[in-house]
Amino acid sequence: MTGSVEGRDTDTEPTAAERRAVVAKRVESGSADLTEITQLAAAAGYDVVGELTQTRTEDAAFMFGEGKVAELRDLVRRTDANAVIIDNDVGPYQTFNIGGELPEGVEVIDRFALILEIFGQRANTRKAQLQVELAELRYELPRAEAKASLAKRDERPGFMGLGEYDESVERDIKRQISEIRDELASIAEKEEARREQRRDSGFDLVALAGYTNAGKSTLMRRLAAEIDVDENAERHPDLDTTAESQDMLFTTLGTTTRRAEMEKRDVLLTDTVGFIADLPHWLVESFESTLDSVYRADLVLLVVDASEPVETMREKLVTSHDTLYERNEAPVVTVFNKVDRLAPGELADKRAALSGVAPDPVAVSAKTSAGVAELRDRVEAELPDWERERLVLPLSDDAMSLVSWIHDHGHVEAETYADDQVTLDFEAKPSIVARARSKAAGLAPAGST
């Protein structure tokens, strides 16, 4: 059994507005990594003033061993922390037991409660707010069920200090979950109709996926044109000029869709919430509506932070593939981002080491724009094939309107005029070609009335 404890002594008293936290984590074997939980705490607005880890099997009552909980109490006192953030899935009884050993007023927060807190801070649209509320209710439901079980067994409402149990609480949570799912389903139907409308207009849909802080939002800025077609009908925080330089988790919570600059194809690029390690199924399900933007795209760009260690990249790639290929049928292109941070020769080494999970990645730096032109070419190459067509049209106002429509919805290779006719050679999505043929068949000959 091993463990470590570290704290920073401070000389000044915290103000009421300060949020000072100790982060802690238990692992079954090896060494606990507190990097991500520290970043999450900072994203939620906490100042991390102490760290504690332990390597041992889980203690049913305290998660950690009782001796380690005593160390945690001493660390909280020494650093004057007002919260303990535990990078584990802590049960309701374990939460109560740990809290009972800490100074009065110190809050105990587990990993998923912290993530929900961050999501709540970032939820600026109705859809995002509903998804956060759904996740919070799903988090609370087993805790309500635990209170019900204990209250029935011991005939003592509030057993173990978990709060007084009311039979209606569990039913009310289930009712709210059902109502929110219905409203989200309605929103999803409207968004699917919007996606199909965009496809019918000749747009290919490309989604950015990947772990949070991989640089998806910055890459989107490099690829996007100025036209904003926001899914949420509200100005998204990532469109602010400072968003691309924020080194913060979950700067993107809703979806943002913008037109991307390509040579031939009209592409709409969607950025969405980043993946994060070890999310439980109930939390992922709560954001299913947002993930539909990925699952129902024509192409997915899986963005990976190439500056991370190989094993970290491998783990994230495998987890991302599990998430994407569960429901996604579109091709996936892996993008190694942040290559500007790599030493000479390091990119080649990482390509070789990860060839099994990323056989042909595109290397870019969204920060410097290196490799972005090659990524645009790859996007066009990987999108569903277009169909070639030649139409011979009579010279008329209606024909000229059709020519303009084809320019807007496809890529015109050649346009020639001769003998009161216009010949158009173009490429477009099969659905667009079919509509162009139908429109052409209905054109009257030149000069007819």
Binding-site residues for Mg(2+): 217, 252
| Residue labelled with tokens 């963005």 | 303
Residue keyed to tokens 């332990």: 54
Under a CB-based contact definition with an 8 Å cutoff, are residues 299 and 267 in contact? no
CA distance 393 to 175: 60
> Using the 8-state DSSP alphabet, how is residue 430 labeled?
H
- Least Cα distance to 393 among 405, 385, 402, 381 occurs for 402
149 phi and psi angles, rounded to 5 deg: -60, -45
* Binding residue ranges for GTP: 210-217, 271-274, 337-340, 365-367
Three-class SS state of 91 = coil
Q: Give CA–CA dist 258/306, Å, rounded.
A: 25
Rg of the chain over all Cα atoms, to the nearest angstrom: 27
Query: By C-alpha distance, which of 248, 427, 179 is closest to 240?
Result: 248
The one-letter amino acid code at 441 reads A
Closest CA to 199 of 297, 332, 290: 297
- Binding-site members are 210-217, 252, 271-274, 337-340, 365-367
Tally the C-alpha atoms within 13 A of residue 341's C-alpha that lie toward its C-beta. Answer: 12
Burial 166-201 (b: 16+ CB within 10 A, else e): eeebbeebeebbeebbeebeebbeebeeebeebbee
Identify the helix (H) or strand (E) that includes residue 377. Answer: helix 372-382
> 126-154 and 167-200 are packed helices; what angle lies between their axes, rounded to 10 degrees?
160
